[in-house]
Amino acid sequence: MTAPFDFAAGWLQEHALLPLLYALGMMQWEDIAFGWALFAVYGAAQVAVTTALCVPLERWRPVERWPDARAVTVDILYTFISRVGVLPLVTFVLFYQAQVMLNGFLADHGWVPPTLERLFPGLLGRPVLTFCLYVVILDFSDYWRHRLSHRFGWWYSLHALHHAQRQMTFWSDDRNHLLDEVLSFAWFMAVALAIGIPPMQFPLLVLLLRLLESLSHANARLSFGWLGERLLVSPRFHRAHHGTTAAGRRSVNYGAILPWWDILFRTAGFSRDFVSTGDLSAEEVLATGGYAAQQWAGLRRMLRRRGASLGDA
């Protein structure tokens, strides 16, 4: 099933990236380039599948209708940058390199960073089960990252960019401040050092998970029913997290894929309402500005907040 995607990535590598690297005298990056090609192709597939599913859903049962939906355009840009473009390349290079250096350093000092398969040898030879366990653990870890990003004022100043969107659609999943993305990766890396990361041999599963994350932001009157909403994060469940009254420190429904953590730690809200979204405390530019303006405003807001915190101290 993955053959067409792999073929596209191979073609991109062989006929576009390698000639480019060769011309630039940068052939030492050919392996990294191939990694990016795979990322980009699967990212493009994610965008295509998500669009094909979510656009009809949003037209069929929209929560809100907007006469002017220009504010959504910037979210489309965020999505392409995040899933296909520069961001995967940078994070791939940085993350891979940092992980290699840290793991190697630890291995030299007699501590081989564990993987789930090493901790539980019964998992060896059961890659799908291993992958699913990684998803559960990483989702749990991400619940706490997300919750802390609301708890600390300076962090929320960055994260507010994600919440400022009043016209939330499936494109909004990737509208994040770059520093917020960096913090997420640092968080992910810390977990990866403790339990390893799943081998990337299940791109279709990753695609499915990303689809679910996008779907949870969709402007669609959709819930998964009483039981379904307690198993997987639905658009209605996640919409409550983006509600105007839930922005900032006291929010609900932090889970990205599994609502289990919200239930367990009593932050779940299973209201049947489809609330209005946005952060009323955020500057207008964070809601309707362009990409660069939003990034700058987010940074300024964080620095102001840091300055105020230091002043208070």
**What is the size of the binding site for another protein (CB under 8 A)?**
41
- Residues 104-143: x/- map of binding to another protein (CB under 8 A)? xx-xx---xx-x-xx--x--xx-x----------------
Q: Counting contacts by CB under 8 A, is residue 18 touching another protein?
A: yes
Contacts of 24 (CB under 8 A, 6+ apart): none
| Residue 225 binds another protein (CB under 8 A) | no
Identify the CA nearest to 232 among candidates 163, 136, 127: 136
Distance (Å, rounded) from C-alpha 1 to C-alpha 35? 19
The residue (of 55 and 107) whose beta carbon lies closer to another protein is: 107
Inter-residue contact 191 to 137 (CB < 8 Å): yes
**Contact between 1 and another protein per CB under 8 A:** no
Q: What is the closest distance, in whole angstroms, from the C-beta atom of residue 73 to another protein in the complex?
A: 35
> Could you say which residues in the range 22-81 bind another protein, by CB under 8 A?
22, 25, 27-28, 30, 34-35, 38
Residue 174 burial class via C-beta count within 10 angstroms: exposed 0-12, middle 13-18, buried 19 and up? buried
User: Using the rule CB under 8 A, is 240 a contact of another protein?
Assistant: no
Q: Indicate the length of the chain as a whole number.
A: 313
> What are the tokens at 182?
């960096």
Location of structure tokens 């290699």: 100
**Which is closer to another protein, CB of 6 or CB of 64?**
6
Per DSSP, the three-state class of 26 is coil
Instruction: Give me 138's structure tokens.
Output: 């990483």
> Is residue 16 within the footprint of another protein (CB under 8 A)?
no
Which stretches of the chain bind another protein, using CB under 8 A?
A: 2-3, 6-7, 9-11, 13-14, 18-19, 22, 25, 27-28, 30, 34-35, 38, 96-97, 100-101, 103-105, 107-108, 112-113, 115, 117-118, 121, 124-125, 127, 196, 199-201
